[in-house]
Structure 1
Amino acid sequence: MRSSRIAPFLAVSALAALVPGLPATASAAGNPLGQYLQQKPAWHRCDSSKPAAYQCATIKVPLDYSRPDGKKIDLAISRWKTSGRSERRGVLLLNPGGPGTPGLDMPEVLASELLPNSVKRMYDLVGFDPRGIGQSSPVDCGLTTGEQNWERAYKAATFAKDVKWARTFAEKCYAKQGDTLRHITTRNTARDMDVIRAVLGEKKISYLGLSYGTYLGAVYTQMFPQHADRFVLDSAVDPARLWRGVIQLWAQDSEPAFTRWTEWTAKRNSTYKLGKTPQAVRKTFYDLVARADREPVDFDGTELTGAGIRAESRSAFYSPREAAELVVEMKKAAEGKSPSGDRETRTLTSPAPSLGGTVPEDNEVTGFWSVACADARNWPRDPERYRSDAIRDKGKYPLYGDIASNIKPCAFWKTTGSEPPTKIDNKVGALILQNQWDSQTPLAGAQGLRRVMKGSKMVTVTGGVGHGVYGFKSCADKTATAYLTTGKLPAKDVTCKTTP
């Protein structure tokens, strides 16, 4: 669920907030971040198996921006330089989402699969692993595979075990990471982005952020508005719902997607044989869930309980065909039949370069909760609040409600010394792209971001399915490309229909 500058230094207003007493007219020589902003990256080929145009480097950033002379951490960055030197406008910084997802491979993925040539001629594509993630001083809590599983259904009989799990998760993280955790935040990642901008010698940066990357981009526009050029925010998160509310929105939004799926599948009973009516299809699915609760189903090498089937299926229901194929295969597995192996999913894969570092096995999960817990102050502290919310939401949203509202590690996270969340409220120009049927960032979330980014415009793809819009040949592509290449936003919000 994953900016400013007239001179090549961090915005004075932001620095003043970080370093008490810094004069508003601080010179380059007196800038406490000067040692970071003046770095010269040692670019090199990311991997011998990768194209020569794909280069990597490592720079340093302060762990704590209020103490720039304190501990330093590594930040892994990458770039794909444009071949159109005469047309070059600057850099297009990229983020794939998360939180907890590395982005070092983004320039290669987008250069080879998604972005049109007109955009690639104008920008160096720049990726990075956010602080604490991937090759950027990765956080590690030493979690077992079982402890990494946070999608836990509420049951009265197991709730005490879930509380113990959440407490253990937090305690393990603080035992291994300590004070580092309060610095793994979206605000600090936005500051890192501005160091990247300065290191690359750019007065402004353009940006393409997906999923969580939309919130990261919005925070950057709030903190460094004078350094934000052309920002595309693809599949957006509502800043007002961070972060528990984002997960709970998955539960709320998945119910109409599930209903739509039952109707679609019932019309195709001759193909999928899951039921002739929507009610029959619903019963088939929940019978499968009940069966897995009695005896877990071995599916693709993973033992799935009923909660596992609900969690595994939730996002698939936004794409009816994908969900129908998935449920058919799960039903076969429950009946002891061999899978057909012809299920299709939309994925982009490109093994990221290692840069000689080792990424802990629990880094993605640890990174997600590090940001989710440190970013927001609204996580309940009383386990009983989680119990009551899970019971309530199980009734309202049976597919995922209890999983979304059950206890999470943030109930026991230490927030002492961490910054309050960023309030997004600005008029910086940006383009928001959103599919109607997006499982990870539902349409309501994008509408929330649009309301607080008053200078933005939004393209809604009616009937659009999937998480991620730009580059997938939807009706939004033309608008996004025009914005990145000309800087012109639509005069008003746009709604367009997907091509069947």
Structure 2
Amino acid sequence: MRSKRIFLTVVLGVAAASVPLLAPSAASAAPADAALSAYFDQRLDWHSCDDGGPAECADVEVPLDYGRPGGKSISIAVSRIKASEPSERHGVLFMNPGGPGGEGLTLPAMMLEKNVIPDSVSRRFDLIGFDPRGVGRSAPVDCGLTDQELSLSGPAYRPETFEEDVSRARTVAEKCQGKNSGVLAHITTRNTARDMDVIRGALGEKKISYLGISYGTYLGAVFTQMFPERADRFVLDSAMNPGRVWRGVFQDRAQDTERAFTRWTQWTAQRHATYGLGDTPDEVRESFWALFNRPAPNPVHDFVSGFPTVFYDVDKAAKTIAGLNTADPTNAPASGTPGKPAAGPSAASGATGNFYSAYWSVTCADSDSWPRDPEQYSRDAALDKQKNPLFAGSASNINACAFWPKATEPTTTVDNTTGALIVNNEWDSQTPLVGATGLHKAMKGSRMVTVHDGVGHGVYGTNPCADDAVNTYLTTGRLPEKNLSCRSTG
């Protein structure tokens, strides 16, 4: 991971609403509903943030349930770093680091500290960070999960352990419901987008600009669908396909990992003299599965099972697998045909219990299309394991969403002409390029910047060509005339 990548990544939708869309005309600061209007009219008490950094902080009150704005409220923690040149100020630039579950309160200060945000942007925008509802300092949810229950996907699929998978998924859902009764249904992307609009109103702004990373691209896309007249300059970095939320996002990631593995076999075959894994792609593939299937203790098996997306970085994968093979030369290959990895994707490094709780809260409550029949998960996971063996069926296996309270709103259909700039690496292991192209098709007014041969999650701050396109758009409001291609500099 490059040094300038400072955001949380995981991986990692909604349409006609059964509650108010809260999308008044651009000339209006607040909706007509009196109870809701009070939130837009609130005065914010700015003070120094606890970390002693350059930002100032405030709490913004929002309804827990936007369908009942006169009911319970919660506080959203917001930070602000004012534009350095007031005479050049254009507006506010909201930021989200991803997740779902990522804390964004300190993101503006971190982006400035790492020199990701240039002076040309910070002169023109108040930089706005916030912890989304359910996260960090914004009414955090906590399911009280054990270490064994901290996961960002279903487990690897095995028929003999499927009943255990069902039991664990049910337990996670029950724990979350038990500790967060009355709250889970409202921890959604749609409601976070509504919170952003309330923050906008409380700041006295007619529109917002936005930088969203990973899951933040989906949040940004939902905002443009719900509040198109409130969206100014939107940058969506490392994008999710809104038409695949959420189960399809996991499945696309598993499928794309196989594409990366095929590319790796080709690259490694050309370097047989260095790595000794075979001089054709087929030989490299056979060598890998033979190494993977060695009996325990097997460092190759353990490494790839925990990190199946390693193949996006061809050099790292070849060095690691060849090195692990050399370090443990006494294990003989197991008999029989090549087996399959035993575990799904690894969890985010350093993530907290709140992160996992918020992750599942949003992932499960966002979508009304999660299957409820465990047997459907079993069938789907078995097929997925055959097609995408590196993820071992985990992308389709059962998880807590099968037992989550049913979503209160339909999944958002993103289909608009709002302008936005989408940037993505060609070989992003967390949000594959197919997700960015899907978002580009859904947002017909967008332009796309693809970093060819680019590896890693998160583009902004890592590629001068892409950075130039982003910064030009943020400072001038002009999108490129056509989609752009940049070359990787890594």
Scaled by the length of structure 1, what TM-score is found? 0.84
Range with bigger deviation, 83-92 or 181-190: 83-92
**Residue identity in the other structure for 1:190:** A
Which residue number in structure 1 is paired with residue 183 of structure 2?
Answer: 180
Cα 1:156–1:485 shift into 2, 3 Å: same
Counterpart residue number, 1:105: 106
Map of 1:91 onto structure 2: 92
The answer as to 2:405 corresponding to 1:404 is no
> How many equivalent residue pairs?
455
CA apart distance, 1:465: 1.5
Residue correspondence of structure 1 range 115-126 to structure 2 within 5 A:
115-126=117-128
Query: Residues 14 and 419 from structure 1, CA distance in 2 versus in 1: closer, same or farther, beyond 3 angstroms?
Result: closer
Counterpart Cα distance in 1 of 2:189 and 2:76: 15
Match of 1:356 in 2: none
Counterpart selection for 1:241 from 232, 238, 244: 244
Output the amino acid matched with 1:55. E
User: Match of 1:388?
Assistant: 379
SS of structure 1 residue aligned to 2:450: strand
Kept in 1: contact 2:30–2:40 (CA 8 A): no
Equivalent residues in 2 for 1:78-477, closer than 5 Å:
78-113=79-114, 114-149=116-151, 150-291=153-294, 294-295=296-297, 306=301, 309-328=303-322, 331=325, 361-415=352-406, 418-477=408-467
Secondary structure of 2:61's aligned partner = strand
Q: Distance in 2 between matches of 1:222 and 1:479?
A: 24
Inter-partner Cα distance in structure 2 for 1:38 and 1:332: 66
Alignment match, 2:337: none
Which region of structure 1 is more displaced relative to structure 2, 182-191 or 195-204? 195-204
Match of 2:486 in 1: 496
In structure 2, the gaps of 5 or more residues are 1-10, 331-347
Matched residue, 1:40: 43
Structure 1 position 498, deviation (Å): 2.6
Cα displacement string for residues 458-482 of structure 1 (whole angstroms, at most 9, x for unaligned residues): 1122222211112112422211111
- 2:342 paired residue number: none
Q: In structure 2, do the counterparts of structure 1 residues 260 and 112 end up closer, same or farther at CA, with 3 Å as the change threshold?
A: same
How far does residue 493 in structure 1 lie from its aligned partner after superposition?
1.9
Please give the secondary structure, in 1, of the residue aligned with 2:76: strand
Residues 310 and 400 of structure 1 are in contact (CA less than 8 Å); yes or no, is this contact kept in structure 2? no
* Counterpart secondary structure, 1:79: strand
Query: Does the CA-based 8 Å contact 1:373-1:410 persist in structure 2?
Result: yes
Residue identity opposite 2:137 in structure 1: Q
Post-superposition offset of 1:401? 4.8
Q: CA RMSD in A?
A: 2.9
Q: CA deviation at 1:15?
A: 11
Cα offset, 1:407, TM superposition: 0.9
Q: State the secondary structure of the residue aligned to 2:157.
A: coil
Q: Which amino acid aligns with 2:461?
A: G
Q: Are 1:313 and 1:323, in contact at CA under 8 Å, matched by a contact in 2?
A: no
Structure 2 letter corresponding to 1:68: P
Distance in structure 1 (CA, Å) of the matches to 2:78 and 2:329:
48
Q: How far does residue 265 in structure 1 lie from its aligned partner after superposition? A: 2.9
| Closer/same/farther in 2, CA of residues 142 and 14 from structure 1, 3 Å limit | closer
Determine the C-alpha separation between the residues in 1 that align with 2:43 and 2:474. 27
Deviation at 1:365, TM superposition (A): 1.3
Kindly provide the amino acid, as one letter, of the partner of residue 195 in structure 1.
V
Shift of 1:333: 7.3
Post-superposition offset of 1:268: 3.7
Structure 2 SS opposite 1:467: coil
CA displacement, residues 391-444 of structure 1 (integer Å, 9 cap, x when unaligned): 11111111115111111111111116x111111111111111121111111111
| Alignment match, 2:335 | none
Q: What is the CA distance between 1:55 and its match in structure 2?
A: 2.2
8 Å contact kept, 1:14–1:224: no
Q: Is the 8 A contact 1:60 1:74 kept in 2?
A: yes
Alignment of 1:475-486 (within 5 A): 475-486=465-476
The alpha carbon displacement at 1:29 in A equals 8.1
1:184–1:28 Cα change, 3 Å: closer
- Amino acid corresponding to residue 122 of structure 2 in structure 1: K
Paired letter, 1:404: A
Asked whether the 8 Å contact 1:383–1:411 carries over to 2, the reply is yes
CA distance in 1, matches of 2:290, 2:218: 38
Q: Deviations over 1:171-199 (max 9, x none)?
A: 11111112211100000000011111111
Normalising by structure 2, we get a TM-score of: 0.85
